[in-house]
Amino acid sequence: MRNSLKKIALLTATELEITPLIEKFHGVTSQSVFDIPIWTYRTDKHEVFFTVSGIGKTNASYVTGVLCALYNIDFIVHFGIAGIYNHRGNNMGDVVVIEKCFLGDEGVIYSYENHGSYKDIGIPVLVKGNGTEVYAVLETHPDLIQLVRKSIASEHFENFNILFGKAVSVSMTSGAWNIANFRRKKFDATIEDMETAAVMIAGHRSGVPVLPVRGISNVAGDRNRANWKIDLALRNTVQVILTILDAIGVQATIMEK
C-alpha cells in the first residue's frame, strides 16, 4: 500500500547547489542509495527528498529514474544555475522558470552551424500518451507554471526578477560567444544548462511532473568564472523554491524571505 505522504524530490546537479536549500530545513536526515546522496525532510503530510545527480544529462536521467522508482515520487522540482543567452543589462541573479526545454545537441550534425533534431533520424525521444511524438522540445505542464505564478503573485523579491522562458540543455556547454549566439538564434532560448531535458524526460517516462527552475549565474559563452555570480544565483533560486514549497504546504523550519 502506498504511503499517504506527498513525496517531493528537489533535484540538482551538485552539492554546491543543494546545500543552500538543505540549510533552510531543520531535522534533515541523510543516507546513500547506490552512490546517490539523499537527504530527507518529513512533515505530517510531506516527505521531501533533496538529491544530487552529478553533472550532465546521463547522471541526471539515472538519478531521476532511481528516485521515481524507489520512492514513488509525486512531484520533482529540478533546479540549479544556468548561463543566460543574449545578455542585456544586469540579469545576474534573476531566476528563470522553464516553460520549454530544447534538446540542444541531440540528433544529426551536418556542419558547424547546421544541426538536425531526432526528427532527422526518424525516431522520437518520447511518445506521449495521446500519440504525440517528441523530437526536440519538452514542455513543462501548464498547471505547474500556473502554480508558480500563483505562488509568487503576492511576493516581493528584492534585487532580482523571476522570468518565464526557454532553456537549451546541452552535453557540451558554450565555451565561446559564437557557440552561444548560434544556440540562441537556433532555439530562441533564454538560458543554457546541462541537465533539465534529461530530468524532464525521465520524469515523463515515470509519470512524475517536473518543474524546472534555474538561477542565472553567468552569460553563456563566458568561461571566465571571475565574472560569474554563483552564490547570488543560488540564493535567489532558493528563495523562489521555498515560496513554491510554501504554496503546496511545505514550510522550511528556518525560512528566510
Mean residue pLDDT across the chain: 93
d(CA 118, CA 135): 5
247's enclosing H/E stretch is helix 230-247
Residue 2 clears pLDDT 70, i.e. is over it: no
Residues paired with 40 in a beta bridge? 29, 49
Instruction: List pLDDT tens digits, range 127-176.
Output: 998 999 999 999 999 999 999 999 999 888 989 999 999 999 999 999 99
pLDDT one-digit tens code per residue, 176-231: 999 999 999 999 999 999 999 999 999 999 999 999 999 999 999 999 999 999 99
Q: What gap in Å lies between CA 60 and CA 57, rounded to an integer? A: 5
The pLDDT tens digits of the residues spanning 39-62 come to 999 999 999 999 999 999 999 999
Q: Which pLDDT score, from 0 to 100, does residue 3 have?
A: 56
Residue 230 corresponds to which amino acid? Answer: I
**Residue 126 forms beta bridges with which residues?**
134
For residue 155, what is its C-alpha cell?
511576493
Evaluate if residue 1 carries a pLDDT over 70. Answer: no
Alpha-carbon torsion angle 153, 248, 66, 41, nearest 10: 120
The string over 101-112, giving b where at least 16 C-beta atoms fall within 10 Å of a residue's C-beta and e elsewhere, is bbbbebbeeeee
Q: Helices 196-206 and 56-71, interaxial angle, to 10°?
A: 30
In the predicted model, is pLDDT for residue 255 greater than 70?
no
CA distance 123 to 179: 26
| Of residues 23, 49, 14, 38, the one with CA closest to residue 230 | 14
What is this structure's pTM?
0.94
Per cent of the chain over pLDDT 70 is: 96
Domain ranges (residues) in the chain: 6-247
Helix (H) or strand (E) holding 60: helix 56-71
Task: Determine the average pLDDT of the residues in 64-70.
Answer: 97
Q: Where are the alpha helices (DSSP H) in 108-216?
A: 118-121, 142-152, 177-187, 196-206
CA distance 81 to 193: 8
pLDDT of 158 reads 87
What topology is assigned to 6-247 in CATH? Rossmann fold (3.40.50)
